[in-house]
Homo-oligomer: A and B are copies of this chain.
Amino acid sequence: MRIPFENLRSAFESVLLSLNFSNEKAAHCATIFAQNSRDGVYTHGLNRFPTFVSMVKDGLIKPDAEPTKEGEFGAIEQWNGNLGPGILNAGFCMDRAIALANEHGIGCVAVKNTNHWMRAGTYGWQAAEAGLIGICFTNTIANLPPWGGIDPRLGNNPLVIAVPRAGGHIVLDMAISQYSVGKLNQYKSNNEELPLPGGYNNEGELSTNAADILQSQRLLPVGFWKGSGLSLVLDLLSTILSQGNSTAKITQSGKESGVSQVFICIKPQNNSFTQQAIEDIISFTKTSRPEHEGGSISYPGENTLRTREKSLRKGVLVDERIWKTVSEL
C-alpha cells in the first residue's frame, strides 16, 4: 500500500516523542526515516524503524546524547557520538565536513561511538545538496568472510561517493556485500533465484540460492578478493581516524552499536567546465548499446530521483504489516 509522505513522517515523529526524543531530534530522525522509504530504500526506512525503537528501549541508542569533539587538526576533526542516534550524529558530522571543506577546500570528520546511520546515501545527498563532493563510510558488525576464509570477519562497510549536479546529484551508495542480508531474505521468502551469484553454498560453490548463502553465511564481497580488501581498509580508516571501535571490537561486543564512521567533503570548482564535464561523462556512458532491447543505462542516483518523485505523487510504498505495527507503537 501507499501512504502520504507526511503521514509516515508524523507517525515516526510521534513514536520518537514518546521515547523522550526532543522535538527537534524527533523531527530530524522522523524526516530521515520517511525520506529513506520515500527514496525506495525501504530496508532503512519504515522496515528498520521497529529495530531502531528496540535499540532505543534497550539503551543501545541514547536519544539525548550529543556528539562531543575529541580532537582537531587543520581540516580534520574527531568526534565522539556518545551512542546517540546514528542519523543525528552522521548528519552533524557531514555538516562539520561541509563547513571544513568550505573553509579549507577539503575536510574530514571521523566519529566514534555512534550508531547505525540507516541509509548511507542520506549523507551523500546532504553533501551534494550543499554543492560539495561527499565521501563517507562506516564499519559494521562482521557479516562477510574475508577472501579465502569461511567465517564472517569483515563488515559490509557501506561506502558513499556523491557528486553535486544541477540536473540531479550522482550518489553512489554501495555496501561491500554483493547483496545485503535483507535482500537475501527477501529472495529466500519469495523463493526466487538471485539474478547473479551472491555468495557460496556450504559446498563452496558460487550460488544464486539465497537460502543456501544465508545458511553458509558466506556472502560474497563485491569483486571477490577485491571487495574483501576494500572492506578491510575502510574498517582500518574508520577505526584509526575516529580512534573508535573496529569491526573486530563491534563483533566481539555482540551488538552492532558504537560503530565508527568517516565523512570527507571536497569543494569542486562550480564552473561551466565542471558542469559540462559531468553531462559529457553521463551522456557518453549512456551511448553504450543496452544489453537487452529497450534497456537503458542509469547513473547512480538516477533511479532514486524517479522513485522519490513517484512516492511524493502517489504516496510512499509501505509494507502493510510493518506500517500497522509502527502506527500502533
Contacts and interface: CB of A to CB of B under 8 A. Distances in A.
A105 B236 contact: no
Contacts of A274: 240, 243
A105 B149 contact: no
Interface stretch (A47-55, A60-68, A150-158): A150-158
A103 B76 contact: no
**Copies of the protein in its oligomer:** 2
A194 to B, nearest CB: 11
A287 interface: yes
Interface stretch (A23-31, A293-301, A311-319): A293-301
Contacts of A281: 232, 235-236, 239, 246-248
Nearest to A278: B236
Nearest to A273: B243
Interface string A216-248: 000001111011011011111101110100111
B106 A240 contact: no
Counting chain A residues whose Cβ lies within 8 A of the other chain, the interface size class is 35 or more
A288 B217 CA distance: 12
Of A107, A152, A236, A268, most buried by chain B (CB within 10 Å of CB) is A236
B150 A290 contact: yes
A153 B284 contact: yes
Contact of A269 (B221, B240, B246): B240
Given A149-B297, A246-B277, A247-B281, 14 more contacts: A76-B104, A106-B107, A133-B237, A148-B296, A149-B290, A151-B287, A153-B284, A161-B237, A163-B236, A174-B223, A196-B206, A229-B300, A235-B281, A248-B284
22 contacts: A73-B104, A73-B267, A75-B75, A149-B285, A150-B289, A151-B287, A153-B285, A154-B285, A174-B223, A174-B226, A174-B230, A196-B206, A223-B227, A232-B300, A236-B277, A236-B281, A237-B266, A240-B268, A240-B277, A243-B269, A243-B277, A248-B281
